[in-house]
Amino acid sequence: MDEENLKLGQVVRSIAGRDKGNFMVVFRTDEPEFASIADGDLRRIEKGKRKKIKHLAKTNYVVEDINKKLTKGLKVTNAEIRRGLDRYKKDCLIGEQEVVK
């Protein structure tokens, strides 16, 4: 996965490490091979996880509120990250239920 494909506020899933399988939001992509991610709960934005991009599986879902704030340089709260991830999980669950029917 290339760094230029990652967007601020994009939901990603960890595919390696202790947090494998967890969904998180990208809040920084300063370095070429790394992204900083947080879930707003166990991994808060104040102590975000710096993770290699090759250990992340990106989704097509971008939390627009977070994206807009981060591109403007505004502060994002942990509650906003949790709400964005909850919205993503709700949308995925609805999509899975429609497929099952």
Please report, for the chain, the start and end positions of each structural domain, with discontinuous segments joined by +: 3-100
Look at 2 and 29; give whichever has higher pLDDT: 29
Cα–Cα distance measured from residue 32 to residue 99, given in angstroms and rounded to the nearest whole number:
37
Mean per-residue pLDDT over the chain, rounded: 87
Beta strands in 18-81 (DSSP E): 23-28, 34-38, 49-52, 56-62
Average pLDDT over residues 9-18: 93
Residue 11 has pLDDT above 80, yes or no: yes
Fold (CATH) for 3-100: SH3 type barrels. (2.30.30)
